[in-house]
Amino acid sequence: MRIRSGFLALCATCVVVSGVALAAAGLLDRSYRPLAGKTPVNLKATYGGDVLLIVNTASKCGFTPQFEALEGLHAKYKGQGFAVLGFPSGDFKSQEFEDEKQIQEFCTLTYGVKFPMFQKVHVIGAEATPLYRDLEQETGAAPKWNFHKYVIGRDGRVVANFGSKTTPDAPEVVAAIENALKAPRPKAH
């Protein structure tokens, strides 16, 4: 009996550890439509091996001016295998337009956003999209407001996350991105 219960406890631990490893390995294995687009993009196929800054955005938020710094980071580091991926969400006081065309026009015309923006999603609660559920599971940190930032390393794992008040060009965010960019690109299998 003792061996059996020890075995079960060990297996339960293995399942938890394996679950985390599997979640991290499949973090980017998701498809989302580009903002106001029709054809889904698989994040892993498109951005696998890149360093990413994943951020939940909102057009009518006090943090919306962060779009400028996000675009600046994207422009500065994209040639090194980096991308900002924006996911509009109205989860916090409905501070996002309902219509994706409006979101797209606002981001492009007001802030010159050229980094990839994807379909409007839920980032918290029971309706959270699988990407954001996995981000929360891996970090223990769900967005508490708009413009929460997750830095994803070349291996597809979260290397850092920052709350809304930390600007995209803050030294700690830039350091996390630059350190992640130093890692070699994973070899294709």
58 near 92, Cβ under 8 Å? yes
Characterize the bridge pairing of strands 41-42 and 51-57: unpaired
Is residue 28 domain-resident?
Answer: yes
Q: What is the number of structural domains in the chain?
A: 1
pLDDT at 189: 56
Residue 164 resides in a domain: yes
Q: Which residues are known to be catalytic?
A: 61
Answer yes or no: is 187 within a domain: no
Element (H, E) at 181: helix 171-182
Q: Which amino acid is at 64?
A: T
Residue 189 belongs to a domain = no
Compute the distance between CA of residue 57 and CA of residue 91 in angstroms, rounded to an integer. 10
Could you read off the pLDDT tens digit of each residue along the chain, which spans 189 residues?
333 333 333 333 333 333 344 344 589 999 999 999 999 999 999 999 999 999 999 999 999 999 999 999 999 999 999 999 999 999 999 999 999 999 999 999 999 999 999 999 999 999 999 999 999 999 999 999 999 999 999 999 999 999 999 999 999 999 999 999 999 988 865
Q: Whole domain around residue 141: which residue ranges?
A: 2-182
Backbone angles phi, psi at 55, to 5 degrees: -140, 135
Helix/strand/coil for 12:
helix
Kindly state the helix (H) or strand (E) to which residue 76 belongs, with its residue range. Answer: helix 66-77
**pLDDT the model gives residue 81:** 96
CATH number at residue 14: 3.40.30.10
Query: What pTM, to 2 d.p., does this model score?
Result: 0.86
